[in-house]
Amino acid sequence: MDYTSIFTLMRAEVTLTAILVLLFLYDLLAGERARRHFTAVASLLLALQAVATAFPAASGELFGGMFHYEPMHAVVKSLLTVGAMIVCLQADGWLRDAETRHKQGEFYILTLSTLLGMYFMIGAGHFLMFFIGLELASVPMACLVAFDKYRNYSAEAGAKYILCALFSSGLMLYGISFLYGTTGTLYFDDMASRIDGSPLEIMALVFFFAGLGFKISLVPFHLWTADAYQGAPTAVTSYLSVVSKGAAAFVLFTTLVKVFAPMVEEWQTVLWIVTVLSITVANLFALRQHDLKRFMAFSSISQAGYIMLAVIGGSSVGMTSLVFYVLVYMAANLAVFGVLSTVEQHSGGRVCLEDYNGFYRTNPRLAVLMTLGLFSLAGIPPFAGFFSKFFVFAAAFRSGFYVLVFIALLNTVISLYYYLLIVKAMYITPSETPIATFRTDRYTRISLALCTAGVLLLGLVSAVYDGINALAYGL
């Protein structure tokens, strides 16, 4: 085996590990003054890494097929890195608090460990590798959720998250063991040709799906979501809702298409049911939420349902629209979470819908940015969210899922209603005690500018979609 190809095909993983080590050393060695620029250093390193690994190289495999590299993987991985970078920028204000200042390094190392785990999930060519990646993405995530461990909510959320994660991992491992039992292999490539759809394999498919459904938070595997999102620090919530979810959705697509190709009818049925449930149930719950972090949890579940519309056809158009959807969703959701998090920082923890009454009067710019993000999430033209929704609908429609598309369209009406509730609160509803006017810090401003540019431009610049489309592959 040629070990130099580790540095070409695994360059994303290698560079990320290097960053991890660098930040670890920085945390150990940097003095009080240097630590003030921790966020800048970390974000800059991540940005460099994203740019350096974004350009696709020729596909290949390592370690006898344990690890795969496809050009599309490079795009998705650097997309996730950008997401993580924006989260780091938005976390700065919170990390400077007295309670968390001393463990700023931990935050980066935990975050980047989960990111590394997602990289391995994406690149895996063997179920063992996949499972290690999954666990690497899950266990540090629980630590992140419980990062404010002296706050009851955070600790409780961490406990719930790790318990549910363990449960789903166990179920998934059980399913994988069925697969090993029926096919005698754990390599993706070999397994695809040996699967024949026996009852045991159907069970394996569902258990495997449930494990990933947990990460993507699809109904009925979603119940941890609201509690964890609400309890976790806001920066972690946005990381969970965007990066973690996007990675898992992409992995679901590739494994279903690659490994479970012979069982396409079965997993399409599962996806059909789960998609309808996710979009509808999440919308119904979102209608009644007052805590905006909880609200965003249900919004993210229904958005996950829309992402499944891209998966269900299994076509290469589906993959394009999936990656594009994740990209746009990332921009819009991080814009909303950026505002939520900075408001929480500056107002002493106000995150309820009622707290946002009269927000436009006191903080007009943030209100406009938040509105843009919400409009994009709701899919109102000409914002990027409209185009991404259009593409996933078109992908599902082209694969013949007319009823599903119709149900999803109906649900966009409901979602429009609850997204506009926030807009209404900000602009119309008056308030006795509005959130006071404040100035956002530099890092938040950069992150919001990036997100807003994404919301405004991604849909209109067709080169983005075309570029992703050139690398896509499917059934």
Partner 1 sequence: MDFTILILLLPLAGFLFLGLAGMKLRPRTAGAVGTTLMGVVTLLCYWTAFTYFSAGRDASGVFPTLMPWNTVWLPISGDLHIDLGILLDPISVMMLVVISTVSLMVHIYSFGYMKGERGFQRYYAFLSLFTMSMMGLVVATNIFQMYLFWELVGVSSYLLIGFYYTKPAAIAASKKAFIVTRFADLGFLIGILVYGYYTGSFTFTPGATTLAAAGGMIPLALGLMFVGGAGKSAMFPLHIWLPDAMEGPTPVSALIHAATMVVAGVYLVARMFPLFIGCAPEVLHVTAYVGAFTALYAAVVACVQSDIKRVLAFSTISQIGFMIVALGVCTSDDPHAGGLGYMASMFHLFTHAMFKALLFLGAGAIIHAVHSNEMSTMGGLRRYMPLTHVTFLVACLAISGIWPFSGFFSKDEILTACFAFSPVMGWVMTAIAGLTAFYMFRLYYGIFWGRENRELHAEHRPHEAPFSMTLPLLVLAAVTCVAGFIPFGQFVSSNGEAYTIHIDGGVATLSLCVAVAGIALATWMYAREQQPVADRLARTFSGLHRAAYHRFYIDEIYQFITHRVIFACISTPLAWFDRHVIDGALNLLARGTNGAAYLIRGIQSGSVQRYCIWFLSGALGLTILLLLIR
CA 396 to chain centre: 21
Q: Which of residues 278-297 bind partner 1 (CB under 8 A)?
A: 281, 284-285, 287-288
Q: How far is the CB of 220 from partner 1 (least distance, A)?
A: 3
Q: Write each residue from 405 to 424 as x if it is in contact with partner 1 (CB under 8 A), else as -, in one continuous string.
A: ---------x----------
Q: Which is nearer to partner 1, 283 or 341 (CB)?
A: 283
CB 459 within 8 A of CB 379: no
Q: Which is nearer to partner 1, 82 or 279 (CB)?
A: 279
- The number of C-alpha atoms within 13 Å of 108 and in the hemisphere containing its C-beta is 31
Cα–Cα dist 94/390, whole Å: 36
State which H helix or E strand residue 67 sits in. strand 67-69
Q: How far is the CB of 181 from partner 1 (least distance, A)?
A: 16
Is residue 353 near partner 1 by the rule CB under 8 A? Answer: no
Alpha helices (runs of H) in 184-221, residue ranges in sequence order = 188-194, 199-216
Q: How far is the CB of 284 from partner 1 (least distance, A)?
A: 4
Q: Which is nearer to partner 1, 203 or 475 (CB)?
A: 203
CA 373 to chain centre: 16
Q: Is 376 helix (H, G, I), strand (E, B) or coil?
A: helix
Q: Which is nearer to partner 1, 9 or 282 (CB)?
A: 282
Is residue 91 near partner 1 by the rule CB under 8 A? Answer: no
Q: Is 191 helix (H, G, I), strand (E, B) or coil?
A: helix
Cα–Cα dist 110/189, whole Å: 32
CB 358 within 8 A of CB 434: yes
Q: How far is the CB of 209 from partner 1 (least distance, A)?
A: 8
Backbone angles phi, psi at 352, to 5 degrees: -90, 160
Q: Which is nearer to partner 1, 160 or 389 (CB)?
A: 160
Q: What is the DSSP string of 311-343?
A: HHH-SHHHHHHHHHHHHHHHHHHHHHHHHHHHH
Q: Which is nearer to partner 1, 288 or 442 (CB)?
A: 288
Q: Write each residue from 373 to 412 as x if it is in contact with partner 1 (CB under 8 A), else as -, in one continuous string.
A: ----------------------------------------
Q: Which is nearer to partner 1, 142 or 455 (CB)?
A: 142
Q: How far is the CB of 179 from partner 1 (least distance, A)?
A: 14
Q: Which of residues 162-221 bind partner 1 (CB under 8 A)?
A: 163-164, 167-168, 171, 197, 199, 202-203, 205-207, 209-210, 214, 219-221
Q: How far is the CB of 123 from partner 1 (least distance, A)?
A: 27
Is residue 269 near partner 1 by the rule CB under 8 A? Answer: yes
Burial (CB < 10 A; 0-12, 13-18, 19+), residue 371, is: buried
Q: Shortest CA distance to 138 belongs to which of 181, 177, 106, 168?
A: 168
Q: Which of residues 219-238 bind partner 1 (CB under 8 A)?
A: 219-221, 223-224, 226-227
Q: CB within 8 A of 309, min separation 6: which ones?
A: 275, 392, 393, 395, 396, 401, 404, 405, 408
Q: Which is nearer to partner 1, 67 or 208 (CB)?
A: 208
Cα–Cα dist 356/427, whole Å: 9
Q: Which is nearer to partner 1, 108 or 224 (CB)?
A: 224
Cα–Cα dist 227/333, whole Å: 18
* Residues lying near partner 1 in the complex (CB under 8 A): 159-160, 163-164, 167-168, 171, 197, 199, 202-203, 205-207, 209-210, 214, 219-221, 223-224, 226-227, 266, 269-270, 273-274, 281, 284-285, 287-288, 414
